[in-house]
Structure 1
Amino acid sequence: METAAEPLSSSDSNTRNTNPRIRVGIGGWTFEPWRDNFYPAGLAHSKELHYASRQLTAIEVNGTYYSTFKPATFAKWHNETPEGFMFSLKANRFATHRRVLAEAGDSIARFVDSGISELKDKLGPIVWQFMPTKVFEAGDFEAFLALLPREVGGLRLRHALDVRHPSFVTPEFVALARQYGCVPVCTDSDKFPAIADAEADFAYLRLMRSQSDVATGYKPAAIAHWAEGVRTWTAGERARDVFVYFINGAKERAPAGAMELLRQLGLRT
């Protein structure tokens, strides 16, 4: 681990990311109900990543939160997905599920050095997810942020902070995140705080209110609202990257929601 310091193209794809600042996707690619309404009937499970990565432009990997993967696995993911695709990785929970965050250095190093650099240009933000019971303590949290590396294997790292306790809804937290080049995860969940930083270098959205009785999870008008926000964020003099994941709620609707957002953004035919 390095020392810490302060257009999609595929012959079988109907997705064309004409704005490389925008990534839209889902959480993971292995989910039984998707084999009824997203993946073609009879598609081999081993081909699901290949298929999903040609309908969407990003995937957030949850498995890295629970387990340690080998470099060869990250290399395989890189090779199976088209140019321009990106993976966001959830950092291993051993780094964030602890009473004293300042003691997370070894766990952070094990995760960052596990081979994630094999994703190369397809490595998106790393998501550090904290327990809903984790209260904001400025000193300890700053000590954690100071441990996060800026790069690994020559790749610049981007860090998204998924904090879930209402005590983080304070300008002090946002200022600390900004100081260390990190970005708060913004969610529309009614269970967790929605924290955004208008000055951040990128935006990370997790949409968690999909409804099972709506084909796209969110009604088209709601998706249009998010599309307008994405356009604003990625346009103008300070155009910045944005990552949007349909991640929870009625999970079976997530792929359709993501594809509808891509369609409304003009990034999918």
Structure 2
Amino acid sequence: MIYLGCAGWSISRTYAAQLAGEGSHLQRYARQLTAVEINSSFYRPHRPASYTRWAGAVPPGFRFSVKLPRAISHERRLVDCAQALAEFFAQCTALGSALGCVLVQLPPSLAFEPLLVERFMADVRKVYPGPVALEARHPSWAEAGPLMEQLQVALVGADPARFALDAQPRGWSGLAYWRLHGSPRTYFSDYPSTWLQALAPQLLARAEAGAATWCIFDNTAGDAALGDALELQTLLGN
């Protein structure tokens, strides 16, 4: 299974006809794509009832990725956050089986510190046994692959890449997670068809190797993300 979607499920007028039909934006979106990333959880908490409602709006195979709150990743910087983690997971695990992954995006200034990561993941595992993808943005994380494999944490492959090895998913081989922010204009630019054509076999190769394979378009400032996801879906033959 390849989990393909966008950072959010809003449907612009440009693609309304392709995602037509009855229901909410989420219901219409989930009939076409297989995953979505909830970014709003980074900024504010959501009630468990909201997560339950969203899970009830999508087909059985659809999956959500939920972004860890910035209070944990950016304000506490992964330190002394056991209580905050417990509160977050008490909310988002209301998705039930529709919770496919948790995304941890780190601030660009947060360097790789193995002991810090081990302590943080020990706190995470007390409340959540499922898949975790980590988007690091400091160059020192180029060295983090072996520890992430040991901790069963995937390192996000990002575009635009910020440092050596950043363009490809690394770390735990059981999960491959691409986050595509748009290039050359981050959050705005769409991807050329030739770029998507080169990406499609990479996703298929990871999925065929047994990895839970995610591809999330975060170029959502306009409507590029949804167009890119729909085009890539066609290239994958889904």
Same fold at TM > 0.5: yes
Offset at residue 148 of structure 1 (A): 1.4
Whichever structure has more helix as a proportion of its residues is 2
Distance 1:126 1:199, change over 3 A: closer
Asked whether the 8 Å contact 1:163–1:184 carries over to 2, the reply is yes
Which residue in 1 is equivalent to 2:65? Answer: 88
Distance 2:220 2:162 in 1: 11
Q: How does 1:69-148 map to 2 (within 5 A)?
A: 69-98=46-75, 101-114=78-91, 116-148=92-124
Of 34, 41, 60, the match for 1:57 = 34
Distance 1:201 1:62 in 2: 23
Q: How does 1:7-86 map to 2 (within 5 A)?
A: 21-30=1-10, 34-40=11-17, 47-86=24-63
CA RMSD in angstroms, aligned pairs only = 2.5
Offset at residue 249 of structure 1 (A): 6.9
Of 257, 262, 265, the match for 2:228 = 257
Residue 190 of structure 2 corresponds to residue 217 of structure 1 = yes
Distance 1:76 1:250, change over 3 A: closer
Q: Which has the larger Rg? A: 1
Which residue in 2 is equivalent to 1:174? Answer: 145
Residue 210 of structure 2 corresponds to residue 239 of structure 1 = yes
Distance 1:234 1:149 in 2: 25
Distance 1:150 1:185, change over 3 A: farther
Residue 172 of structure 2 corresponds to residue 196 of structure 1 = no
Secondary structure of 2:4's counterpart equals strand
- AA at the equivalent of 1:22: I
Asked whether the 8 Å contact 2:156–2:170 carries over to 1, the reply is no
Cα deviation code 1:123-160 (max 9, x no counterpart) = 111001111111122222221122112765xxx51111
Distance 2:118 2:126 in 1: 15
Distance 1:122 1:94 in 2: 24
5+ long unaligned stretches in structure 1:
1-20
Offset at residue 39 of structure 1 (A): 2.3
Give 4+ residue runs of structure 1 displaced > 4 Å after superposition. Answer: none
Which residue in 1 is equivalent to 2:157? Answer: 186
Secondary structure of 2:170's counterpart equals coil
Q: TM-score, normalised by structure 1?
A: 0.78
- AA at the equivalent of 1:174: G
- AA at the equivalent of 1:194: A
Distance 2:124 2:146 in 1: 16
Secondary structure of 1:135's counterpart equals coil
